[in-house]
Structure 1
Amino acid sequence: MSTNAENRIDPITASVLQRRVDAIAKEMATMLMRSSRSPIFNEIGDLVTVVFDKDGNTLAQAEFAAIIAFGAHPALEYIINYYGDDIHEGDVIVHNDVYHGGNQNADTGIFMPVFSAGQLVGWTAAKGHMADIGGMTAGGYDPNARDIWQEALRIPPVKVAEKGVFRRDVWDFIAANIRFDFVMEDIKSMIGCCTIGARRLGELIERYTLPVYENHMDYILESSARQVRAEVSRWADGHYYGESWMVSDGFDTTKRYKIACDIEIKGDEITFDFSASDDQAPGITNMPPASAKGAVRIAFLMLMASGDINIPTNQGLFEPIRTVFREGSVLNPRFPAATVFGNQMSDEVVECIMTALAGILPDRVSAGWNKYLCTSTNGVDPRTNEEFGTLTVFQRTGPGGVQGTDGWDALGFTGTAGQMRAPDPEMFELTSPHFLEYHEYLPDSAGAGEYRGGMGTRSAWVSYGENQHGVTLGDNVRAEGAVPAQGLFGGMDSGLNDMTVTFPDGTVHQWGSKEIIAMPPGTRVESLLGGGAGYGDAFKRPAEKVLAEVRDGILSAERARSDYGVVLTSDGTAVDTAQTAALRA
């Protein structure tokens, strides 16, 4: 029986516990990145680590890839319901199945129950993008896939350790279906970081006692929900509609898919209803509900972060949210549809939410982000004769501008919210058979505005892997007739993306947004990724800021004149104030 002292809430203790749990999640992530083998983990950080309470509510997370982090909760919900009372100290559960709570089959998770004095007190989890998880193509990305079995090995919840006993049969079964040996080493690292997290959480509970810990964590969740509800209640009640379009489904480059959202704000609750979105696609360009819910949470977090409140990322932050995804749509496909591209559709989900709410939250929304585009490459490294798999996520598009500030240059994908890292160029060359010629900001790529969009990037690299193939993952490719993301309140639209492949025989190919190609040794790729859209009238941007960007080489004098109405002196060192004033008038 708990005492009055244990039930009493001390705000200082609550703050200490919240920060300590957050530190546990971050320590888990650090350990995972430093002990893993794949550059997708240790260089890029395409992973998350999470601490949950015993009921599966998120308490803290290290969200390098936010779309995965917000996809961890639905998976654990399913695991808890699946096993019921059959959860024991020493269990280690692996899971990835998108039809049972997963967000992407490649994003495989390890879930570990935490016990204290024989009582279930919480969970630790690690999820990350595996370099391979079975299926018909190494790396898992293949636009030709028609169903989930062609994409990956489906792993519904299964215990690789039970009551502390290692299940060799389960481990060997999973390993037998994965091409790259180092993936299993990454899974070991995930188990290790969850073990450390469970140990730290147990020590914390032992220090403060379980009643004190649970009461204060419940208080933190309730406090977060209370603050969010108070903020949402200030937003104007009503229905608001926004839409976005995905170009190409991997089979038909002319195909367009609408992602539409009807948002209802009523009091302190907000509902995101995507029922008007198009029907599911025949291939990989479908988004599982867990991933779609994660994208909604990313957009909501952006809206909240623009305000004056500071709320830890826990379950309470999303307590007022309701989501609706029509079965049979691109955001909730019927089994056994392929879905591996779903995470990348975060861009469309975020865009239609921002478009819908621009009229009532002009100080919160972002102008259009140029949709992301990167590649997945796999093959054999001739230096070692070993298989490799990597993602070229150093390629970055630009986000949109917001009221009061420019878009962050080369931020990239909404699904990672700027937290997933670009690999070090030298490590990219060391860990995969590529030579990076250059990687830099793309001048004139940002949409003009009083607050311009973030710049995109230009890159070029040569591949010399053997038996290598590459797959593009993204959207807004100019050659496919994509439409730029919209500027807001007079800001100019975003840029578009161009990927040019030059094969060793001199043949040139414009790489599409969701296309797999063979890459013989000597294949060269040139990537031009556009920036984000602008916010506000570009003629209101201070002329001195425009001049500074011309001096820095990221804006041409011609675009300064045409987009911003800023005329420079003949030597380009100063603003011609008279001509600028006349032009802007």
Structure 2
Amino acid sequence: MGVFANRFMGIAEQMGRALQKTSVSTNIKERLDFSCAIFSADGGLVANAPHVPAMLGSMAFSVRWQIEHWRGNIRRGDVFLSNAPAAGGAHLPDLTVISPVFDEAGEQVLFWTASRGHHADVGGIVPGSMPAMSKEIWEEGAIIESMKIVEDGVFQEELLYEAMVVAPSRYPGCEGARSFQDNVTGIKAQAAANQKGNSLIASLIKEYTLDTVMKSKQPPRMPSGTFSRRLRAKKDGAYLKRRDFMDDGSRIRLQIRINPETGSADFDFTGTSPQAYRASLRCNWNAPQAVCNAGIIYTLRCLVDAEIPLNQGCILPVNAIIPEGSLLKPSKDAAVAAGNGLTNQRLVDVILKAFEVCAASNGCMANFTFGLAQKDGVAGGGFGYYETIAGGSGAGPWWVGEDGIHCHMTNTRITDAEVLERRYPVLLREFSLRVGSGGEGRFRGGMGVNREIEFLIDMHAGILSERRVFQPYGMVGGLPGARGENLWLRRNGQLINVGGKAACYVKAGDRMRISTPGGGGYGTPVHSAGGD
């Protein structure tokens, strides 16, 4: 069983390498903001390559939705596309491409392959499709619940154009995808990665026979008693309670109940704040259920020290109780752009806090966007750029926090300075560690970073970030990490603190300086290990 688990994992990883090689997107080729996975015929996770933790366990929601939606109408040569949170998506820029793997006769679906990648722009009210002020989901770009992007082997570009360019522009203040051909090449690269996976699965079946492979795909489960014991060993008692707050005061409340008899764990989020919806200027940090599920799975993989692959076996013992209409299970039309970059990070902090494993991390992905809208009248249309910026991780009982790292739910990279400046009209003025931002303690929290970008032409810029109000907490006497700060340095010398979530129209010569939070310290400070 272990041999096949590793073979399936190897196939998912090769899918990822194929996607990176064939993509032209900086998000996928440079930043590695994608994930690839294999699923059983009923949508159970067989193998998920360890790419982006935010996508762990969440793609299964999308795959199962497509299976149910197209049941009885799935043929060899079909490939499906989806990004809607209501259909298992995370936020709209994350496009998921799903392909069936048929038997030799083309009659039975044996597996599914899937790839999810963050596209730099999918339309909406601002370039980059990560608006700071969206109230409803249609403001964030194209919404695709389901589409046969490839039917009978033919790529449906006209259908895609209607969905990504024409449909979003019908909403007030919105545009369609600003770099449609980039979306086309990205989706084709994802479909090619899936095909790579399909071919490798076919080779595996040829090597071991269909019967052997189908028997071996059942995910290995950790024995129930082992699962509960290892969780409880992290903290005495079966009932763990914690809460934390987003910068606007929204609450995430968690109670964990571990059942030693069944080997299961209930993650109960009853008492979490209601969804942010329409009522305020900024209310897009709702996190769809698939995102919440991914946060739980990622954290359990960190907590439980056991050799178990990233598949359905590590999902089965977990039951998530999430109130309808809450911040973690919003309604279909709620804005969600920031939920997959801010709220999921806070969710992880809450779970780790419940087990008292380590201090808080920087608590957000610091989502930074810039670009031009089509209405700006530039030759060749608009464009969008997106990146996440590292911060400090929290210290623990025997470790110093990591400096300048994409921790927890992001596992991406920052775009190389040379690539950034060659492809976009900006200059990178500074990218450095933020000395002194890590919380002091017996073990110091990791330092955040300073990133300053100068704009060479007038354009739109935006930031979605957290921990600008509440500091990343320390633990067991450790001190909190420094808050983050976002500054707009205008060319006339004016300095503006834009807050945690902002959209600006910047002029040539303006700069944006983003200082990310440090991680919290662990233990009472005596002389901090890992000093600056």
The answer to whether the superposition gives a TM-score over 0.5 is yes
Change beyond 3 A, Cα 1:163–1:226: farther
Query: Is 1:473 the equivalent of 2:492?
Result: no
Q: Match of 1:221? A: 220
Q: RCO greater where, 1 or 2, for CA within 8 Å and sep 6 or more?
A: 2
Query: Can you list the C-alpha shifts for 1:219-245, whole angstroms capped at 9, x where unaligned?
Result: x43358785456346564532111111
Query: Is 1:346 the equivalent of 2:344?
Result: yes
Amino acid in the other structure paired with 1:508 = L
Find the partner of 2:103 among 101, 105, 116. Answer: 116
SS in structure 1 at match of 2:220 = helix
Query: Can you list the C-alpha shifts for 1:433-489, whole angstroms capped at 9, x where unaligned?
Result: 2111221212112111222211111222211133x1111111112xxxx12121111
**d(CA) in 2 for partners of 1:227, 1:296:** 18
SS in structure 2 at match of 1:297 = helix
Q: Quote how far apart the aligned CAs of 1:374 are.
A: 3.5
Change beyond 3 A, Cα 1:200–1:230: farther
**d(CA) in 2 for partners of 1:198, 1:226:** 36
Equivalences for 1:143-158 in 2 at 5 Å? Answer: 143-158=132-147
- Work out whether residues 121 and 383 of structure 2, in 8 Å CA contact, stay in contact via their aligned partners in 1: no
Change beyond 3 A, Cα 1:135–1:507: same
Q: Quote how far apart the aligned CAs of 1:169 are.
A: 4.1
SS in structure 2 at match of 1:70 = coil
Change beyond 3 A, Cα 1:404–1:234: closer
Q: Quote how far apart the aligned CAs of 1:187 are.
A: 0.7
Amino acid in the other structure paired with 1:164 = G
Q: Match of 1:41? A: 28
Amino acid in the other structure paired with 2:351 = I
Change beyond 3 A, Cα 1:424–1:167: closer
Q: Quote how far apart the aligned CAs of 1:167 are.
A: 3.4
Equivalences for 1:480-559 in 2 at 5 Å? Answer: 482-539=469-526, 541=528, 549=531, 555=532
Higher helix share: 1
Find the partner of 2:252 among 250, 259, 265. Answer: 259
Change beyond 3 A, Cα 1:237–1:391: same
Amino acid in the other structure paired with 1:316 = G
Amino acid in the other structure paired with 1:132 = D
Query: Can you list the C-alpha shifts for 1:506-527, whole angstroms capped at 9, x where unaligned?
Result: 2211121111111111111222
**d(CA) in 1 for partners of 2:358, 2:99:** 37
Query: Can you list the C-alpha shifts for 1:399-422, whole angstroms capped at 9, x where unaligned?
Result: 101222112221234321xx2112
- Work out whether residues 96 and 154 of structure 1, in 8 Å CA contact, stay in contact via their aligned partners in 2: yes
- Work out whether residues 143 and 163 of structure 2, in 8 Å CA contact, stay in contact via their aligned partners in 1: no
Amino acid in the other structure paired with 2:461 = G
Q: Quote how far apart the aligned CAs of 1:127 are.
A: 0.5
Find the partner of 1:375 among 368, 379, 401. Answer: 368
Find the partner of 1:326 among 289, 308, 323. Answer: 323
Change beyond 3 A, Cα 1:397–1:168: closer
Find the partner of 2:11 among 24, 28, 34. Answer: 24
Find the partner of 2:334 among 318, 329, 337. Answer: 337
SS in structure 2 at match of 1:415 = coil
Change beyond 3 A, Cα 1:400–1:436: same
Query: Can you list the C-alpha shifts for 1:42-86, whole angstroms capped at 9, x where unaligned?
Result: 111111111112221222223432112332111111111222232
**d(CA) in 2 for partners of 1:278, 1:183:** 35
Q: Match of 2:242? A: 242
- Work out whether residues 289 and 332 of structure 1, in 8 Å CA contact, stay in contact via their aligned partners in 2: yes
**d(CA) in 1 for partners of 2:151, 2:319:** 36
Amino acid in the other structure paired with 1:33 = Q
Query: Is 1:433 the equivalent of 2:425?
Result: yes
Change beyond 3 A, Cα 1:424–1:452: same
Query: Can you list the C-alpha shifts for 1:223-274, whole angstroms capped at 9, x where unaligned?
Result: 5878545634656453211111111xxxxxxx31111111111212111111
Amino acid in the other structure paired with 1:277 = T
Change beyond 3 A, Cα 1:111–1:226: farther
Considering only CA atoms, is the larger Rg found in Structure 1 or Structure 2?
1
Q: Match of 2:170? A: none
Query: Is 1:135 the equivalent of 2:124?
Result: yes
- Work out whether residues 237 and 266 of structure 1, in 8 Å CA contact, stay in contact via their aligned partners in 2: no
Find the partner of 2:163 among 142, 154, 174. Answer: 174
- Work out whether residues 115 and 194 of structure 2, in 8 Å CA contact, stay in contact via their aligned partners in 1: yes
Q: Match of 2:169? A: none
**d(CA) in 2 for partners of 1:412, 1:382:** 36
Amino acid in the other structure paired with 1:131 = A
Query: Is 1:280 the equivalent of 2:275?
Result: yes
**d(CA) in 1 for partners of 2:224, 2:74:** 29
Structure 2 gaps, min length 5: 166-175, 278-282
- Work out whether residues 135 and 151 of structure 1, in 8 Å CA contact, stay in contact via their aligned partners in 2: yes
Q: Quote how far apart the aligned CAs of 1:34 are.
A: 1.7
Change beyond 3 A, Cα 1:524–1:237: same
**d(CA) in 2 for partners of 1:159, 1:277:** 37
Amino acid in the other structure paired with 2:275 = Q
Change beyond 3 A, Cα 1:224–1:499: farther
Q: Match of 1:312? A: 309
Q: Match of 1:444? A: 436
Amino acid in the other structure paired with 2:19 = L
Find the partner of 1:60 among 47, 58, 77. Answer: 47
Change beyond 3 A, Cα 1:442–1:168: closer
**d(CA) in 2 for partners of 1:356, 1:312:** 24
SS in structure 1 at match of 2:186 = helix
- Work out whether residues 228 and 259 of structure 2, in 8 Å CA contact, stay in contact via their aligned partners in 1: no
Find the partner of 2:391 among 386, 393, 397. Answer: 397
Q: Quote how far apart the aligned CAs of 1:143 are.
A: 2.6
Q: Match of 2:168? A: none
**d(CA) in 2 for partners of 1:103, 1:371:** 18
- Work out whether residues 68 and 128 of structure 1, in 8 Å CA contact, stay in contact via their aligned partners in 2: no
Change beyond 3 A, Cα 1:168–1:226: farther
- Work out whether residues 388 and 432 of structure 1, in 8 Å CA contact, stay in contact via their aligned partners in 2: no
Query: Can you list the C-alpha shifts for 1:170-227, whole angstroms capped at 9, x where unaligned?
Result: 2332353422121111111111111111111111112111111121221x43358785
Q: How high is the TM-score relative to the length of structure 1?
A: 0.82
**d(CA) in 2 for partners of 1:185, 1:225:** 45
Q: Match of 2:172? A: none
Query: Can you list the C-alpha shifts for 1:480-502, whole angstroms capped at 9, x where unaligned?
Result: xx121211111111111112111
- Work out whether residues 398 and 455 of structure 1, in 8 Å CA contact, stay in contact via their aligned partners in 2: yes
Q: How high is the TM-score relative to the length of structure 2?
A: 0.90
Tell me the C-alpha RMSD between the 2 structures: 2.2
Query: Can you list the C-alpha shifts for 1:524-566, whole angstroms capped at 9, x where unaligned?
Result: 122222310111222165xxx56xx4xxxxx2xxxxxxxxxxx
Query: Can you list the C-alpha shifts for 1:329-369, whole angstroms capped at 9, x where unaligned?
Result: 111112311111111211211121122222xxxxxx12111
